[in-house]
Structure 1
Amino acid sequence: MDELPIGRRVAYWRGRRKMSQQVFADRLGKSKSWVDKVERGVRRLDKFSVVYEIADVLQVDVQLLLGKDVERRPETQNCIDQVEVEEIRAALERYDQMSAFFQAVPHSPPLAEMHKAVSHAWLTYQHAKYGVLARMLPKLLRDAQAADSAYATGAEAKDAAHLLGQVYQIASSALRKVGEHELSWLAADRSIAVSQRAGDQLLAGLASFRVGSALLALGRVRPALEVNVNIANRLAPAYEPAHKGERLSVYGMLLLNGAMAAARIGDSATVRDLLCGAEQASLELGGDFNHYWTSFGPTNVLLHRCAAAVELGDGRAAVDTHEKLDVVGFNALLPERRAHHFLDIARGYTQIGNIEKASEMLLEGDRLAPSEIRCRPLAHEVLSDVLRRTRGTPPAPIAELAEQMGVGV
C-alpha cells in the first residue's frame, strides 16, 4: 500500500474503521465534500497538522498515512502493531488453492519443516510472545497455504490440510488477543473448512471453539454459545479408548467456552451446567494436559470458574475460587493461561473493591507474561479502572506499568 497516494490511504483506513465519509468528516470538523476530494486526490494534504489530525481520528500511526515504515518503540516490540496486522491480513487474503487449480505451486516447504514451525508457533502463543508470533505468522501462513495446495491431491493431503488448519487457529487466537476480532473470525472460519478436509473431527471441533471465541469477542454471544454447545454435543466422548484424552480435552474446552458465552448474557444456570460437564470431563481425563494445545484439565476448569464468575459480576465467588487453586497445578500451566487468569482475577478484585489486590494481580501477570497484559485492550481497561479508583497517588509499580502501557494516570 506504500505506493498509493495519501488520499487513497486515507480512504483505505477509513473503510477499515467502518466510518462513512460523513462520520469521518464530522469527527474532523470538515465537510463531506472535503473528505471526498482528499480521497480522490483532487485536494492535497499539504499541512502536517491536518495529517496528524486524520491519523488521530483513524487511530493509525501517521507514518502509515505517509506511506513510510512505522518506527517501532522498544516497549511495543512484544505486541502486534498495525503493520504486522496488515501483513497477516494480506496473507489471509491469498487464495493459493485457486491458483493451484490452474497451475502448479512453484514452491512448498517440506511437511517435516512445517510440523516444526507450527509446533514452534503454538508454543510461542502459549508463552504469550505475541510480537514474536506476529512477525512469523505472515510467512507461516503463506508456507502453510502453499503446502496445502502443493499436496492437495497426494497421500500427504490430509497432513498438509491439518497443518494449515492449525496455522489459521493460531492466527485467530493471536488476532483476538489484540482486538482484531473480525480478522480473528475470518481465520477461525477458514480453519473449519480446512479441518474438514483434514478429516480430523477434533481439529474441526477446535476450529469451532475459535469461531465461538471470535463471535464472543464480537458481541455475538448467542451464536457463540450455540456453536460451542452444538459441537460439544457431537464430540461427547465415546467409549472407544483411542484418542480419548484428546477428545475429552477438545470437548471440555468447548463446554468451557460455552460457559463463558452463557455468563456474558447472565445465564447462570447454563454456566453451572456447562462448567459441571467440563469438570466431569477433566476428572475423567485425570490431570492437566496440553492435548491439541488446549491446556485442558481440572486446573483450567477452575480458572474458567473464576472467569465466568467475573462475567456474571460475582467477584467474591471468583476470588474465593482463586484462593483455593492448587499452586502446583497452576504453576505447571503455560504462561499465557496463567497471565490470562491474573487479568481475570484482577477484574474480580475490582468488583469487590479491593483495588490493591487488583493491582497486585496485574503486576503478577505482567511479570509472568508482559504481552498478555500490555498488548490486550481488556488489560488497558482494567488498569484504567484501577487507576481511577486508586485513592491518592498510585503505587510506583502500577504508575510505571501505566506509563509503559500508555494508560493515563
Structure 2
Amino acid sequence: MTTNLTIGERVAWYRRRRGMPQEVLAGLVGRTADWLSKAENNRIELDRLSVITSLAEALDVSLGDLLAEPNLMEWSADSGHRTVPALRAALMDYTQLTPLLGHTPSDEPPALQDLRTDVAEVLDAYQASRYGFATRRFPRLLADAHAASRAYSGRKGEEAHALLALAYHGAAMVLGKVGEAELAWIAADRGLAAAQHSGRSAVTGSLFRAVTHCLLATGHFAAAIQLVHDASGVMRPGLDDAGGEYVSVYGSLFLAGAIAAARAEDRATAHAFLQEADKSAQRLGGDANHMWTAFGPTNVAIHRVAAAGELGDIQIAADLGPQIDTSGMPVERRARHGIEVARALSARNRTDEALAVLLEAEQLAPEQVRHHYLSRELVIGWVRGTRGRPAHPVVGLARRLRIIDGG
C-alpha cells in the first residue's frame, strides 16, 4: 500500500548493499541477529536515535540515509517555486564571504532597522513552522546582511554582524527541520564566525546552540555534549549580572545538551543538563521568548519528555507529556512536543490517542509534521499494522505526508 520504506527496511536495504549478514551487523551494534531480523521486518520499532545512529555508523551511511532525510519541500504560496536549491546556492556563493574575490557592492547597504525587521520576520516564521516562507526569504536576507557587515563599522558594524549571525542561525534551524543537515551545518558555522565579530555574548551563545543542534542532527552526540560543556563554561562568568536574553540562551544550550546526552544514552548527563536548564528557568522567573528561545519552565518540561523518549522511558513520556500545557508556546514547540507525545502513546499501544495528538500537531504546523522522521515513521507503522483498510483519518494523514498515493 505504501511506497515508503520504514527505517528497519532501509537498514535491511543498506545491509544487503554492503553484503553484510544479519549476524555481523547485529554484532557491530551489540544486538542479536534475532533482534535485527525483527527490526528489519518491522516487528520492533526503530524510533530511538541512539540505536539508529549506531546502525548508520556500522553500515557507513549517514543518519539521514536511514531517516530518509531530506525529503522534498512542497511548493506553496509561501515558498514559491524556489526553495532549498536557491538557499543552497546562496550558501555556496563565496563572493559574499570575502573581498578577496573582488565583490563590489552595487547598491547602498540596507538600513539596520530594515535588516532587524527582516531577521525578526524569518525567525518568527521558523517559530511558526513556516519553513517554505523562511526558505524563500533567506537568500536575499543573507545577501543584505553580508552587505551590511561589509559596509558598516564601529557599533553599527557590530550590530550588522550580530544580525548576520542571527540570519545564519535561522537558516540553520530551518534547514535542520527539513532534513538538510549538511547545509544547516554550513549555515551554523558561518553564523558562529559572524557572531564572534559582533561583540555580543548572547548572540555568540545563540550560535553555539545552533551548532549543537547541527551536531544532534548528524548523530554527533558526544561532540554536542562536549560543546555544551565548553560553551557553558565560556558563558557562565557572565551570568552574575545577566539579563533575560543571556539567561535564556544559556539555559537553552543545556536543553539541547540534554537531548544529545539522552541520544548518547548518557542518563546522568541528560539529567544534570536538565537540572541546570531548570535553574536558569527559575532564575528567569517564567516563560519568555528572548532571542527566539521560547525558554522557561514549560520548555524545560517539554525537553524532559523528549529526553525520556530518547532514553527509552516511554511510560514516563506517555504519562508526563499530555499533562504539559504548551498553549503559550510558539507553534514550533507545541507541534514538536505533540510529535513526541504521539510517539510515546503509540509505543504504549494507545494508537487512537496518538493519532489525535499527531493530527492536532499537523493542524498547527503541517510543514513540521510532514518533515519530521518520527511522524512519518508513526504513520507508516499505523498503515502497515492495520488489518484491512486503515481508518480514514490515518489514510488522509498518510496521503498528506506523501506516504501513500494521493489518488
So what's the TM-score if we normalise by structure 2? 0.77
Change (3 A) 1:131 1:255: same
Change (3 A) 1:386 1:92: same
Matched residues, number? 337
Asked if the contact 2:248–2:295 (Cα under 8 Å) also holds between the matched residues in 1, the reply is yes
Tell me the distance in 2 between the aligned counterparts of 1:130 and 1:385. 26
Change (3 A) 1:78 1:386: farther
Asked if the contact 2:173–2:210 (Cα under 8 Å) also holds between the matched residues in 1, the reply is yes
Tell me the distance in 2 between the aligned counterparts of 1:253 and 1:336. 15
Please name the residue that 2:243 is paired with: 244
1:332 counterpart SS class: coil
Please name the residue that 1:159 is paired with: 159
Tell me the distance in 2 between the aligned counterparts of 1:81 and 1:266. 41
Tell me the distance in 2 between the aligned counterparts of 1:60 and 1:316. 30
2:286 counterpart SS class: coil
Tell me the distance in 1 between the aligned counterparts of 2:182 and 2:168. 14
Please name the residue that 1:121 is paired with: 122
1:174: Cα distance to partner? Answer: 0.4
Tell me the distance in 1 between the aligned counterparts of 2:353 and 2:400. 20
The amino acid of 1:148's aligned partner reads: S
Q: How does 1:314-329 map to 2 (within 5 A)?
A: 314-325=313-324, 327=325
1:398 counterpart SS class: helix
CA displacement 1:254-293 (0-9 Å, x = unmatched): 1111110111011111111111111111111110001111
User: Aligned residues: percent identity?
Assistant: 36
Asked if the contact 1:78–1:371 (Cα under 8 Å) also holds between the matched residues in 2, the reply is no
1:342 matched to 2:335: no
Tell me the distance in 2 between the aligned counterparts of 1:76 and 1:91. 19
1:310 matched to 2:309: yes
1:83: Cα distance to partner? Answer: 4.9
Greater RCO (CA < 8 Å, at least 6 residues apart): 2
The amino acid of 1:84's aligned partner reads: T
1:281 matched to 2:277: no
Q: How does 1:285-304 map to 2 (within 5 A)?
A: 285-304=284-303
Between 304-313 and 140-149, the greater mean CA deviation after superposition = 140-149
Tell me the distance in 2 between the aligned counterparts of 1:80 and 1:345. 29
1:100: Cα distance to partner? Answer: 7.1
Asked if the contact 2:126–2:332 (Cα under 8 Å) also holds between the matched residues in 1, the reply is yes
Please name the residue that 1:369 is paired with: 365
Please name the residue that 2:113 is paired with: 112
Please name the residue that 1:137 is paired with: 138
1:104: Cα distance to partner? Answer: 4.4
Tell me the distance in 2 between the aligned counterparts of 1:79 and 1:229. 39
1:381: Cα distance to partner? Answer: 2.0
Tell me the distance in 2 between the aligned counterparts of 1:60 and 1:230. 30
Change (3 A) 1:79 1:318: farther
Asked if the contact 2:322–2:341 (Cα under 8 Å) also holds between the matched residues in 1, the reply is no
The amino acid of 1:226's aligned partner reads: Q
Asked if the contact 1:100–1:150 (Cα under 8 Å) also holds between the matched residues in 2, the reply is no
Change (3 A) 1:275 1:389: farther
Tell me the distance in 1 between the aligned counterparts of 2:99 and 2:343. 48
Q: How does 1:47-62 map to 2 (within 5 A)?
A: none
Tell me the distance in 2 between the aligned counterparts of 1:60 and 1:306. 25
2:389 counterpart SS class: coil
Change (3 A) 1:195 1:322: same
1:407 counterpart SS class: coil
Gaps of 5+ in 2: 1-16, 18-67
Change (3 A) 1:390 1:251: farther
1:161: Cα distance to partner? Answer: 0.3
CA displacement 1:97-147 (0-9 Å, x = unmatched): 413785642222111110111111111111111111111111111111111
1:201: Cα distance to partner? Answer: 1.5
So what's the TM-score if we normalise by structure 1? 0.77
Cα RMSD over matched residues? Answer: 2.6
1:376: Cα distance to partner? Answer: 2.9
Asked if the contact 1:253–1:294 (Cα under 8 Å) also holds between the matched residues in 2, the reply is yes
Change (3 A) 1:164 1:183: same
Asked if the contact 1:309–1:315 (Cα under 8 Å) also holds between the matched residues in 2, the reply is yes
Tell me the distance in 1 between the aligned counterparts of 2:80 and 2:212. 24
